[in-house]
Amino acid sequence: MSARELTDLFASVPDVRPSLELMAARAVLLRGLAKPFESELIADISGIVAQAPFRHMLTPGGHQMSVAMTNCGSVGWVTDRSGYRYDGADPESAKPWPAMPPSFRALAGQAADQAGFGGFSPDACLINRYQPSARMSLHQDKDELDLGAPIVSVSLGLPAVFLFGGLQRSDKPRRFRLEHGDIAVWGGPSRLAFHGVPCERAASPTGRRNAPPDDKLREDG
Ligand code: FE
């Protein structure tokens, strides 16, 4: 079978992935939901990065994170030798973080709504850029003021493995494949679930970057 025939064969196979996949209680993957908005999202990320460039932050233990990060919104998540926290200013420029684009707010609200969290209006968005060697060890998102609000995480770019575990670090995580356009939403009893991204990405033949599999969005208040 030629490569062309193989491509045609795959093209004829419908996408059998469910559009909504349950990861845990009140934790879902919304497959492909961001895809129709990819151009706007990517243009908006470029605008943010022009004002607040990606950087590799230091953990409180002094390790440089392999994931490059930036933020938009009224506060942004930062880490340095003094700890993890949300800060209204970018520590590199001392200026406020770039405003959250309407595209981010609308998509996050729609995703949260589809996941059963109505009325979500985020005030912060962490943008994580994973290059092929980057990883994010299992962690909880627990620096937010309002743990009643869900986390909405939008994946763009290369596929990645997403680990979603339980409330204890020792709980064995389940593995999910995240594709371009997928959105993970978790809250309620899963709000403090451990999650992470192992270093299992194939190197991109085109040099295309994977950004950002972990937009964290926090509700106002
Ligand atoms: Fe996280």
How much distance in Å is there from the Cα of 19 to the middle of ligand 1? 22
β-pairing, 20-24 vs 174-178, is unpaired
57-92 pLDDT per residue, tens: 999 999 999 999 999 999 999 999 999 999 999 999
CA distance 213 to 136: 10
Q: Could you tell me the pLDDT band of residue 140, with boundaries at 50, 70 and 90? A: very high
Sign, Cα dihedral of 73, 44, 71, 35 = positive
Is the preceding omega at residue 96 within 30 degrees of 0, hence cis? no
Which residues neighbour ligand 1 (ion) by CB within 5 Å? 141
Kindly report the CA angle at 51 between 85 and 72, in degrees rounded to 5? Answer: 40
Q: Could you tell me the pLDDT band of residue 4, with boundaries at 50, 70 and 90? A: low
Query: What pTM did the predictor assign?
Result: 0.85
How much distance in Å is there from the Cα of 14 to the middle of ligand 1? 32
How much distance in Å is there from the Cα of 6 to the middle of ligand 1? 38
Lowest mean pLDDT among 7-11, 27-31, 131-135: 7-11
176 residue type, one letter: F
β-pairing, 136-139 vs 122-129, is unpaired
* Mean pLDDT of the 188-199 span: 96
How much distance in Å is there from the Cα of 10 to the middle of ligand 1? 34
* Mean pLDDT of the 2-17 span: 53
Q: Closest by alpha carbon to 104, among 137, 74, 141, 134?
A: 74
User: CA-based diameter of the chain, in Å?
Assistant: 59
CA within 13 Å, CB half, 170: 0
Lowest mean pLDDT among 38-42, 94-98, 195-199: 195-199
The CA–CA distances, whole Å, from 51 to 39, 66, 111, 137 equal 19, 21, 27, 28
For 20-220, CATH number out of 2.60.120.590, 3.40.50.12590, 2.60.120.10, 3.40.50.720 equals 2.60.120.590
pLDDT at 68: 98
pLDDT at 58: 98
pLDDT at 199: 82
10-50 pLDDT per residue, tens: 455 555 566 999 999 999 999 999 999 999 999 999 999 99
Q: Where are the domains of the chain?
A: 20-220
Judged against a pLDDT cut of 60, whether residue 142 lies above it is answered with: yes
CA distance 29 to 2: 35
Q: What is the mean pLDDT of the chain?
A: 88
How much distance in Å is there from the Cα of 214 to the middle of ligand 1? 6
